[in-house]
Amino acid sequence: MYAVIRTGGKQYKVEQGQVLDVELLGEPGVEVELTPLLVVDGDAVTTGADVLSRAKVTATVVDSVKDRKINGFTYKNKSNQRRRWGHRQRKSRIRITAIEAATDR
């Protein structure tokens, strides 16, 4: 069973027990609930919005990490104006603890 979730403007294909880095969600130890965009359980594919609103993916924030460093440089021609800058995005490392498909009513 796997699901496709959306968080931080990106989509991820996740399975139970998987660890992945996503945009900052909270402090380590916090449990978050994500709404899936798609749930696949064997041959059954769930895509309807009304059914998916009842499905959920549960994850636990394991750690807070930083992404790779991005270096930038700007300058203006003929004026001796230069500027270097760098940035490291903070991310949350999460572990998918459960994927619950919606039960038919």
Cα angle vertex 75, ends 71, 79, to 5°? 155
Q: Is residue 90 situated within a structural domain?
A: yes
Q: Is residue 89 situated within a structural domain?
A: yes
Q: Is residue 76 situated within a structural domain?
A: yes
The mean pLDDT value of the chain amounts to 92
Q: Is residue 86 situated within a structural domain?
A: yes
Q: What is the pLDDT of residue 103?
A: 67
- Region 34-47 average pLDDT: 85
The number of domains in the chain is 1
Q: Is residue 105 situated within a structural domain?
A: no
Sheet order of strands, 2-7 included: 10-15, 2-7, 36-41, 44-46
Between CA 2 and CA 93 the distance in angstroms is: 19
Tokens 């903070």 locate to: 90
Tokens 């996740």 locate to: 14
- pTM of the full structure: 0.80
Q: Would you say residue 22 has pLDDT above 80?
A: yes
Longest Cα–Cα distance of the chain, Å, equals 71
pLDDT tens by residue, 57-96: 999 999 999 999 999 999 999 999 999 999 999 999 999 9
